[in-house]
Amino acid sequence: TGGIGSGETAEGFGPNYSLRNNAYCESCSTCGMIFFHWKMNLAYHDARYIDNLEEALYNALLGSVDLEGKNFYYTNPLDARSKRSSWHVCPCCVGNIPRTLLMMPTWTYAKAPGGVYVNMYIGSTITLEDAVGTEVEMVQQTDYPWNGKVAITVNPRARRKFAIHLRLPNRTTSKLYTPEPAVSGLTSLAVNGKAVKPVIEKGYAVITREWKAGDKIELELPMTVQRVTASELIAATRGKVALRYGALIYNVENTDQDITKPLSPAAPLATEWRADLLGGVTVITGAYADGSKLLAIPNYARINRSPSLPPEAGPNSGDVSLYAGPNAQRVPPGQRPPRPASPSSITWIQKG
């Protein structure tokens, strides 16, 4: 998910390959890592830094807040046993999460001498001032990350010859994890309706030409469901598999199924748009080894249908010291609901 910090030392790291499913993964650490990758991309214009930024953004960071934007996680374990809270005695995440999300317009593009880098695929209209000797308005139309089709209208104030670098997402962001089937590159690329063959540099498809207002780039990124397996060096994920679709990592929840079942290794996995679920999401459907149906939702949308779970922090949580709200009503320890022994939402599923 792009979470960082295994948690043996609270907000730090533990032994080599200790990537536990109940790891700390503090929200603020994710914010810091995102800013780090942004700065590294500005320094080296290498798409791999944005690949990591995107993975952390769409999963670890978006998943740290609920769909209403009112409650948040301080920590983001992959095995979720609690719901988000409205406050925390150490309120760093309260400010860091929104300030990081508000940086989206800044991260979408980068400028360099003689070129513009398209780092994020997000429906938007953004003006780059003094980008290539002139102001350039970039208008994106896309439903990414739900599908890979993107249209970009380039509107320079004056005609200019410059390069546009289009990021080609690489879903293999770590050598410790192997997504299958492999997905990379482009399905198609055209400018003003004519197919073009770009130069590939540092994970970007580069188109150099004289651009004028109204020029339109149309590209399609390959999108398919992938099964992700981890290195055997990681004890927590041996014999397990995770699911991803494009930039999104997926979870299964006990609201929809028995999440202790193994996943069928042979049953096909498909995507389906569900406008009626979680504000509208693309789900992954398939089957468990016993033939029962599997339904996976994006990791960021996890634990939005479990009101009975104890909060991560608050007067009813297992650790009342985490809560310092102005109207706190302290609940005696004996009256607090116990933390569930089993997770309600998981990322890693048993292999069949």
DSSP output for 130-192: TSSSS-EEEEEEE-TTSS-EEEEEEEESS-EEEEEEEE---S---TTEEEES---S-SEEEET
Q: What pLDDT was estimated at residue 16?
A: 87
Span 165-206, pLDDT tens digits? 999 999 988 999 999 999 989 999 999 999 999 999 999 999
Residue 339's pLDDT band (boundaries 50, 70, 90)? low
Check pLDDT > 60 for residue 319: no
The SS3 assignment for 14 reads: coil
Check pLDDT > 90 for residue 118: yes
Residue 315's pLDDT band (boundaries 50, 70, 90)? very low
Find the mean pLDDT for residues 199-215. 97
**CB atoms < 10 A from the CB of 257, how many?**
15
How far, in Å, CA of 79 to CA of 254, rounded?
Answer: 12
The SS3 assignment for 58 reads: helix
Structural domains of the chain ordered from first start:
108-169+186-220 (2.60.40.1180)
Is the pTM higher than 0.75? The answer reads yes
Find the mean pLDDT for residues 29-37. 93
Is pLDDT larger for residue 280 or for residue 337? 280
How far, in Å, CA of 84 to CA of 165, rounded?
Answer: 39
38 in Cβ contact with 109 (< 8 Å): no
Q: What pLDDT was estimated at residue 94?
A: 83
DSSP symbols for 242-290: EEEETTEEEEEETTTS-TTSPBPSSS--EEEEETTSTTSEEEEEEEBTT
How far, in Å, CA of 186 to CA of 347, rounded?
Answer: 28
Check pLDDT > 90 for residue 348: yes
pLDDT above 90 covers a percentage of the chain that reads: 69
45 in Cβ contact with 64 (< 8 Å): no
349 in Cβ contact with 241 (< 8 Å): yes
Cα–Cα distances in angstroms (integers) from residue 195 to residues 44, 155, 187, in the given order: 29, 20, 11
Residue 100's pLDDT band (boundaries 50, 70, 90)? very high
Check pLDDT > 70 for residue 344: yes
Residue 332's pLDDT band (boundaries 50, 70, 90)? low
How far, in Å, CA of 177 to CA of 160, rounded?
Answer: 42
Position 46: which residue type?
Answer: D
Find the mean pLDDT for residues 225-230. 96
322 in Cβ contact with 329 (< 8 Å): no
Check pLDDT > 90 for residue 320: no
Q: What pLDDT was estimated at residue 251?
A: 97
Beta carbons within 8 Å of 258's beta carbon, 6+ residues apart = 288, 292
169 in Cβ contact with 247 (< 8 Å): yes
Q: What pLDDT was estimated at residue 2?
A: 78
How far, in Å, CA of 151 to CA of 321, rounded?
Answer: 50
Average pLDDT of the chain to the nearest whole number: 90
Check pLDDT > 70 for residue 8: no
